[in-house]
Chains A and B, each alone.
Chain A
């Protein structure tokens, strides 16, 4: 159980690293996917014309 001898740093660090992966990481993936999809769409439109 928690007590003065328990170092909270690894727990806080682990939680916020997972938080960063889920929020910042997922957001980065969303924005990167969008850029890639827009490039594909531009390429397709150019091919049609």
Chain B
């Protein structure tokens, strides 16, 4: 009844809900921030999911550029849409967390700005895809933009190291080891893993839907002609 991507999506959404329940009720409260820090178990996994989408987009773009005359952009489109969803989620949850901790909803610091740029570029990709008719020109243009989107990801990741930012520095992968409590770190890492699989499942289900839609359009065109 359900193929593998759909099964994976349902299973990982259930795992994600379990992880959220643990984040609300099991993991200890933070000394400095109190309970509001629990947003980390959504915000950080969402960011990693957005980065994963960019990686998938980069791979799909490279494959498409190898043969632009015969390539379709269904995987790229799916990755871009899912990436945009997770980037918006990252920005929204970050903003909500920022208000009580920094006293502001937004600031133009390096990490926030580069993440906002990621959202703009994902949106730009979708607009570009709609603006150019199907063909090698669209494949080339969208794939080049897809590679540029992927370049933003390491900049976002290193922004807290390269520039003086309001955003807190790296807490997971840092020299000297993580500063997080064991239980908190374990739940955060499992949350990241679950969200990455949710993201990949969404991408593959969306790709299948795009292909189904294209197949339907083709059939209906043949019916008209």
Q: Which residues of A contact B (CB under 8 A)?
A: 1-2, 4, 6, 8-9, 11-12, 14-16, 18-19, 22-24, 26-27, 30-31, 33-34, 37-38, 40-41, 44, 47-48
Contact = CB atoms under 8 A, between A and B. Distances in A.
B220 A15 contact: no
Contacts of A14: 96
B216 A15 contact: no
A12 B206 contact: no
A37 B39 contact: no
Q: Among the interface residues B96, B205, B216, B219, which one has the most CB atoms of the partner chain A within 10 A?
A: B96
A6 B100 CA distance: 8
A19 B205 contact: no
B215 A41 contact: yes
Contacts of A34: 6, 205, 208-209, 212
26 contacts: A1-B100, A1-B101, A2-B34, A4-B34, A6-B36, A8-B38, A11-B36, A11-B39, A12-B36, A15-B42, A16-B20, A18-B93, A18-B96, A19-B42, A22-B46, A22-B85, A22-B89, A27-B202, A31-B205, A33-B209, A34-B205, A34-B212, A37-B213, A41-B212, A47-B223, A48-B219
Question: Secondary structure of the B side of the interface?
Answer: helix
B71 to A, nearest CB: 22
Interface string B191-208: 000000010001001101
Interface residues of B, number: 44
A31 to B, nearest CB: 6
